[in-house]
Amino acid sequence: MKRLILSLVALVALSAAALKAQTITSPDGNLSFTFSLNEGVPTYSVDYKGAPVILPSRLGFDLNGTSDLLDGFTAGEAVKSSFDETWTPVWGEETSIRNHYNELLVQLTQTFSNRKMNIRVRLYNDGYGLRYEFPRQRSLKYFTVAEERTEFALTGDHNAFWMPGDYDTQEYDYFESKLSEMGAIAAAHVSTNSSTTRFSDWGVQTALTMKSAEGIYITLHEAALVDYSCMHLLYNPETLTFTSWLTPDAIGNKAYLQTPAKTPWRTAVITDDARELLASRLTLNLNEPCAIEDTSWIKPVKYMGVWWELITGKTNWSYAAEGNIKLAEVDYADLKPHNRHGANNENVKRYIDFASRYGFDQLLVEGWNVGWEDWFGQHKDYVFDFVTPYPDFNLPELQKYANERGMRLMMHHETSSSVRNYERHLDKAYQFMVDNGYNSVKSGYVGNIFPRGEYHYGQLMNNHYLYAIQKAAEYKIMVNAHEAVRPTGLCRTWPNLIGNESARGTEYQSFGGTHPHHVTILPFTRLQGGPMDYTPGIFRMDLTDIPGNNSKVLSTLANQLALYVTLYSPLQMAADMPENYERYIDAFQFIVDVPVEWSESRYLMAEPGDYVVIARKDKNSENWFVGGVTDENRRTLSLSFDFLPAGKEYVATIYADAKDADYETNPEAYRIVEGKVNGKSVAQIAMARGGGFAISIREATPADKKIKRLKKNF
Ligand code: NOJ
Ligand code: CA
C-alpha cells in the first residue's frame, strides 16, 4: 500500500514536471520571471520590458558528505499568489512603504534522493527576490553546504560599480569598469595582505550595481541574511555569468542547515532609471515585519563624538603611555596617564558644551574604558570588559553633565573581534549601559575573529551580530555596528539596528583619502541594504598639521554638508572637532538644521559614479532639505524646486561650493546664498570637482518680507 501511494505521488510530480515553464509578471507588467526545469536542473530567467536581463541561470547546491542538490528534480505543484500592503517603518526615508508583489512557489523533489527543495520568488515592479526553502522532511534533516550555485547569467559586458570579494572587510574603494576588466584591475590594484581575505580576482561583493549598454541598471544583493553565510559573487568572463560564492567557516564549510530552513533572498533591482534604484525598497520589503512590539524607545540620533581627534592621531584611545599592559595585572589608578588620552573629563565636557549648544542628542566617547593599551591584532580571548572606565573618565559625573544639557553619552564597545569574550560580557555590558543612562552603542569588530579561523562574514559571525542586536532590544538599546557584515534590510525586523559601517567610511579620509566618486556610488550599492554610519561633516581638510598624519580629505566642505541628505541614515554624526566647526560656524548651521527623520524623499537626479541629488521633507515640520554631490568632475545642474507644494512661499538657504572651490586645491571654499523660492523656482547650481551643495528650505513668514527672490544664476 505504502509503495502504491509513493508511486502515485511520483506520477503526480512527473506530470506536473511535464507542464510548461512557470512565468509570473510584476504588478506593472514590466518584469517577467520564468522558472523551468531544464532536464531536471532548476533554471530561471528574467525579462524587463520585453528584453532579457537575466538569461537562463541555474539554481542549486553542492553539499558536503552527500549527493548535491543540483539536478534530477521534478516539479510538483506551482503556487501563484499576490500580495499588497503598505507598512509604516519605525524610521526611514518616508513614513509609509508599499510592499506589492506577485509570488511563485515551485515545489521540487529530487527523485533519486526523495529530497524536497522549494524555490520562492517575489516579483516586484522594481526587481525580484528568490530564495530556497527546505521543508521539514525525513530524507533531509541536517546538511552542510559546500557551495551555493545560484547563477546570474548576464546579457552583455556591462559597466560595473564593484569592490573585490573579501571574507572580512568591505572597507574598499569602489572600481568602475566593464565586467570583463575586473580580473585584471583586481590583480593590479588590490593588495592582498594579511588583513584581507580575498578569494579570487574575479570575486566581488554585493550590492553590485551594473549598467548595460542599453541603459538598464541591475543591482544584485541579498535580503534577510539570517543563520547563513554572506554571499559574494564570482564572475566567469567566458559565460558572462556570476555565481554565488559563500563565506566559508574555519574548516571551509559554507553553511550548516537543519530543516525546516530557508536561505536569504537573492535579489536583483532592475530599472532603466537610476533614480528608481535609490527609491527601491525591495530589500526592506523582503525582510520580516518589525519584531519589537514597543518601539517608542527607538529614536533617530544626531551626535558628535570624541572620535575624529582619535582617528586623525591628535589624541589616543589609551590612557597610559606604556604599551602592553595586561588588563588583569594593572591598577590603572597607579598609572601616570599620558597627555594624549582623548576621553578625559575636561575634554569630554568641552564637547558636551559645544554639542549641547547646537542641540545634538548624544556624544560618542571612544577610549573611555580600560583595555586599549593592548587590544589590537592579538588572538586573545579577553581584551575589554566593557564596564570599567579609565580613572580620568568620571562616568556618572559626565553622564549627569550631559543630561543637564539635554544630551546623553553614547556607549562604545570595541570588541576587537574577540566575539567569545563579548558574548560572555554582553548582558553585564548592556545592563551597565541601562544603569548609567545610555541607550545606544557603537560596537566594532576590528581584527581577526576569535574563535580563530572564522571570518567576519561567515554564518557564525552573522548569527553573533543578530544575537547582539536582539539582546540589545531586550535592554532597549540601539546598535550601530562597525566592521559587521553588510546590511541586508534586517533593520525592518530589528529597527534598533540604527546603523552599520560595512563600507569605507569617513575615517579613510584620515588614512590617505577616499576617491570623490565614492559618495556617488554608495547610495546605489552599500546603502541598498540599510543605513550607514558614514560620519560626514569634516570641515578641516588638511590634516597634515597633526603630527604623524599626511592625509588630506578629498572633498569640498559643501560636499560634506550634502552627505547629510544624500547618504540616508537615522544616525548622523557631525564628525569633526568643535574647534573646526567654530571656524565656519555659518556653514555648521546646516548640520544643526538638518533633521534625521524624514516623511518623504524625492530622488531628483542620479547616475552611479557621477552624481546624486535628493530632496527630503522633515518628518516634524514643513521644511525641505536638498543635497547634491558630484564625483571628481565639476558639474553644473539645473535644479527645479517643483517638489515644493504649489502656492506656498519658502526661504531657501543654499550652501554651495565657492567659484574657485576644488577638492584638491581649495576644498574649504564655500558660499551661502539666501533667497525666496516656490514650486516654480529653478536654480543653476555649480558643483566643484569633489564638490556638492546643500539647501535648507523653510516656509516663509511675514518677517521674511525683505528677503529677495532667489536668482536663477544666484
Ligand atoms: C574602527 C571604526 O570604524 C572606528 O570608527 C573606531 O573608532 C575604531 N575602529 C576603534 O574602535
Ligand atoms: Ca572601520
- pLDDT for 10 equals 40
Q: Which ligand is nearest to the CA of 311?
A: 1
Q: Separation of 505 CA from ligand 1 center, angstroms?
A: 10
Whether 17 has a pLDDT exceeding 50, the answer reads no
The answer to whether residues 249 and 458 touch, using CB atoms and an 8 Å cutoff, is yes
Residue 534 is classified by DSSP as: -
In the predicted model, is pLDDT for residue 673 greater than 90? Answer: yes
The 10s digit of each residue's pLDDT in 85-124 is 999 999 999 999 999 999 999 999 999 999 999 999 999 9
3-state helix/strand/coil string of 602-650: EEEEEECCCEEEEEEEECCCCCEEEEEEECCCCEEEEEECCCCCCCCCE
Domains of the chain by start residue, with CATH: 3-285 (2.70.98.10), 305-596 (3.20.20.70)
CA 683 to chain centroid, in Å, comes to 32
Question: What is residue 194's predicted lDDT score, i.e. its pLDDT?
Answer: 58
Residue linked to cell 515592479: 125
List the grid coordinates of 669.
Answer: 571654499
Q: Which amino acid is at 377?
A: G
373 — pLDDT class (breaks 50, 70, 90): confident
How many helices (H) and strands (E) the chain has is answered by: 13, 36
Structure confidence at residue 328 (pLDDT): 52
Q: Are strands 682-687 and 692-699 parallel, antiparallel or unpaired?
A: unpaired
Give the nearest ligand 1 atom to 414 CA. 11
Residue 239, φ and ψ in degrees, nearest 5: -105, 0
The helix or strand, by DSSP H or E, that contains position 42, with its residue range, turns out to be: strand 41-48
Establish whether the linkage from the previous residue to 451 is cis, with ω within 30° of 0: yes
Q: What does the mean pLDDT of the chain come to?
A: 94
pLDDT digits (tens, 9 = 90+) for 684-709: 999 999 999 999 999 999 999 999 99
- The owner of cell 560572555 is 424
Catalytic residue among 148, 222, 483, 507: 507
> What confidence tier does 521 reach under pLDDT thresholds 50, 70, 90?
very high
pTM exceeds cut of 0.85: yes
Q: Is the bond preceding 260 in cis, omega lying within 30 degrees of 0?
A: yes
**Secondary element (H or E) of residue 557:** helix 557-566
Residue 330: its pLDDT value, please? 65
Please report which helix (H) or strand (E) contains residue 235, including its range: strand 231-236
Catalytic (active site) residue 507: yes
Considering only CA atoms, which of 394, 450, 438, 379 is closest in space to residue 413? 438
- The rounded distance, in Å, linking the Cα atoms of 568 and 93 is 7
Mutate to test the pocket of ligand 1, among 386, 414, 445 (most ligand atoms within 8 A of CB): 414
Atom of ligand 1 nearest to the CA of 317: 10
Substitution site in 171, 311, 384, 482 for ligand 1 pocket (most atoms within 8 Å of beta carbon): 482
Tens-digit pLDDT profile for residues 261-306: 999 999 999 999 999 999 999 999 999 999 999 999 999 999 999 9
CB distance 567 to 614 below 8 Å: no
**193: β partners:** none
pLDDT digit string (tens) for 199-256?
A: 999 999 999 999 999 999 999 999 999 999 999 999 999 999 999 999 999 999 999 9
Q: 272 is written with which cell numbers?
A: 532603466
pLDDT band at 13 (very low <50, low <70, confident <90, very high): very low
Mean predicted confidence (pLDDT) in 25-35: 98
18 CB-near residues (< 8 Å, 6+ apart): none
* Chain centroid offset of residue 380 CA: 29
Query: Cα Rg for the chain, rounded, in angstroms?
Result: 26
Between strands 22-25 and 31-38, the pairing is: antiparallel
Spell out which residues line ligand 1, taking CB within 6 angstroms: 307, 311, 366, 414, 444, 446, 482, 501, 507
- CB 366 within 8 Å of CB 342: yes
What integer pLDDT is reported at residue 327 of this predicted model? 53
Question: Is residue 147 a contact partner of residue 169, using CB atoms and an 8 Å limit?
Answer: no
Looking at residue 643, its amino acid is F
Of 507, 514, 534, 571, best ligand 1 pocket probe by most atoms within 8 Å of the beta carbon: 507
Of the candidates 668, 671, 666, the residue with the CA atom closest to the CA atom of residue 656? 671
The yes-or-no verdict on residue 628 having pLDDT over 80 is yes
Cβ atoms of 605 and 611 closer than 8 Å: yes
DSSP-derived pairing of the beta strands 624-630 and 51-58: unpaired
For ligand 1, what atom is nearest to the CA of residue 366?
Answer: 7
Nearest CA-CA partner of 195 in 513, 417, 441, 432: 417
From the list 277, 246, 278, 286, the residue with the least C-alpha distance to 121 is 286
CA–CA separation, 704 and 693 (whole Å): 23
